[in-house]
Amino acid sequence: MSKSLSILALGLLSVVGMSAKDYTDTLVVTVNGTSTQQSATISVDTAANGTLNFSLKNFKLRLGTQTMGIGNIILNNLSGATCDKGTLVVQDTTVNITKGDDSSVSIWMGPSLGPIPLQLKLLVSDSKLYTLIDINMAALHQVIHVTFGDTYQLPNSGFEYFRTETAGSNTVSEPYNWHSFASGTGEYLAIANALSAPHTYEATVTRPGSTGKHSLLIKSTDIFGVIANGTATTGRINAGAMNPADKANHAFLNLAKTDTDSHGDPFYVRMNGRPDSLAVWIKFKQATPNASYPYATISAYITDGTYFQDPQDKAYTNILAVAQDTTIVSKDFAWQRIVLPFDYKDKSVDGKSILITISTNATPGKGSANDSLYVDDISLTYRLDTPILSVDGSTVALNSDTITVKAINPATAVIAATTANQGSFSAMHEISSNDNQRIVKVIYATDDLQTTKAYTLVITKDGTSSVKPINTNSRPAAIYNVNGQRVANMQRGQIYIIKYTDGTVKKEIR
């Protein structure tokens, strides 16, 4: 969705009054392609001058069974840009990591490494924090990527971590954050598990170029001549009928549910972004080729988190977007990377969760027993498409990092930034402003902050228009609130930016 804002009164939109706040969430640390996760607390506070102070204390690396203490990462006086999501910081810097105070760690490596190049990206509001940190630890021959907070990617996306579930007499491996029949529910689940071989396996076959060591293997089974498709989902499997085609057999999610699997994870995955596509590596083979039903399938639904099931038993109105491929062919059991674009069905839906379902056949109960579907490295893609910038309604060409334009009144010029796709947004930071010149930093970013573009906008006074006769016939042509949103009516006591038919722009309090 295109997003726009104005910074005509950014002082009112800043995080004034926001005191030091601790955010506790999952910290995912990736070292040279291998990821681990841990709980961590990051503190962010706002200084008197409006800058942010960032503190990640007792940072550690976990490599297999080993834990290495790194230390405290503290960054002060960070300049933030304001957007409708909160405050965005994008900064390349160096940091001297200090000694931590966790008594369980005997040696802290950070203080001995000297200044370390670090890239920080964070998006903070009063309720949540999302952070990306990239650290180049050349002395340790390691590139460290850290993600903290909001969910814009899928947990355990490389299928490296598995838990054990008990299903009938079987001990079954299911990936963290993914589920199949062994952790399912439903009236006929016990029968299915008692009579069926496992549907999911921890595999050591990986896609070309993978830095991981494992993938997910999904297999179909035969129960007294009836094919039970191999299925894995980020939600939960419900076995509600004997007939495979009955929609009582489905995958579902519901954020209101408190059930957890054997690892303690819920039967849903949260999703805060609006991705452009889903990409996944698969390797597929039917044990007995079935020309009438040759296809495997993948579907992904982003919803508002209330109850939803796939396949659907009714018309659901809580779907934000869907990505689906129901015609995945074997291609001689070779690895193939599939990209599924998201189709945004209802942009007014507040997306909070994603239900992904992968099955050995697109038609329930079809295919053959022991069909095999390997799955590896599934990811969500966010693009930054066509950033657009305008000043007082005139489009500005983004052809350099620093852009100079003229305006009748730089201090009150209406600045709007938009993007052309769903998974991106804009943020602004006013560096300086007076009657003759205004300097604003404009940042465009993808929802996951992986891609950012920054521009410095310099607005100078248009000398040819410095003196204008009073036009008594001039009337309001457009009215904007302090968020840069055009409004039809003004409320008493609020600040508005009014553009008149004679071209003048004024900031007024009603």
The domain of 413 spans 388-509
Predicted pLDDT of residue 6: 40
pLDDT per residue over 209-224, tens digit each? Answer: 998 899 999 999 998 8
- Choose the final residue of a domain: 97, 120, 149: 149
Shared domain for 338 and 294, answered yes or no, is: yes
Shared domain for 416 and 352, answered yes or no, is: no
- Choose the final residue of a domain: 342, 360, 381: 381
Shared domain for 413 and 442, answered yes or no, is: yes
Kindly state the average pLDDT of the residues 14-43: 77
Distances (CA, A) of 98 to 56, 60, 92, 116, 335: 11, 12, 19, 12, 45
Shared domain for 226 and 285, answered yes or no, is: yes
Contacts of 367 (CB under 8 A, 6+ apart): 220, 227, 229, 286, 290, 293, 360, 361
Task: Name the helix (H) or strand (E) containing 68.
Answer: strand 66-78
Inside any domain, residue 156: no
Nearest to 33 by CA among 119, 144, 135, 123: 144
pLDDT per residue over 135-181, tens digit each? Answer: 887 766 778 899 998 789 998 999 999 999 988 888 999 999 999 99
Q: What is the CATH number of the domain that holds 243?
A: 2.60.120
Shared domain for 360 and 435, answered yes or no, is: no
Shared domain for 233 and 348, answered yes or no, is: yes
Inside any domain, residue 30: yes
Predicted pLDDT of residue 502: 66
Tokens of 317: 């109105």
Q: What is the sign of the dihedral through the CA atoms of 166, 168, 172 and 178? A: negative
pLDDT per residue over 396-451, tens digit each? Answer: 999 999 999 999 999 999 999 999 888 999 999 999 998 899 999 999 999 999 99
CB 449 within 8 A of CB 123: yes
Given a cut of 70, is residue 472 above it in pLDDT?
A: no
pLDDT per residue over 76-93, tens digit each? Answer: 999 999 998 999 999 999
pLDDT per residue over 251-295, tens digit each? Answer: 999 999 999 999 999 999 999 999 999 999 999 999 999 999 999
Mean residue pLDDT across the chain: 88
Inside any domain, residue 8: no
Inside any domain, residue 358: yes
Inside any domain, residue 486: yes
Given a cut of 90, is residue 9 above it in pLDDT?
A: no
- Choose the final residue of a domain: 365, 381, 397: 381
Distance between CA 510 and CA 282 in Å, rounded? Answer: 60
How many percent of the chain have pLDDT more than 70?
89
Inside any domain, residue 432: yes
**Burial of residue 435, with CB atoms counted within 10 A of its CB: 0-12 exposed, 13-18 middle, 19 or more buried:** exposed
Shared domain for 366 and 477, answered yes or no, is: no
Given a cut of 70, is residue 4 above it in pLDDT?
A: no
Predicted pLDDT of residue 164: 95
Shared domain for 25 and 44, answered yes or no, is: yes
Shared domain for 198 and 138, answered yes or no, is: no
Task: State which amino acid sits at residue 505.
Answer: V
Shared domain for 273 and 392, answered yes or no, is: no
Distance between CA 309 and CA 231 in Å, rounded? Answer: 14
Q: How many CB atoms lie within 10 A of CB 298?
A: 22
Shared domain for 348 and 479, answered yes or no, is: no
Nearest to 446 by CA among 156, 154, 153, 155: 153
Distances (CA, A) of 369 to 103, 358, 399: 55, 16, 58
Q: Are strands 129-137 and 505-509 parallel, antiparallel or unpaired?
A: unpaired
Shared domain for 286 and 424, answered yes or no, is: no
Inside any domain, residue 7: no
Inside any domain, residue 64: yes
Say how many domains are in the chain.
Answer: 3
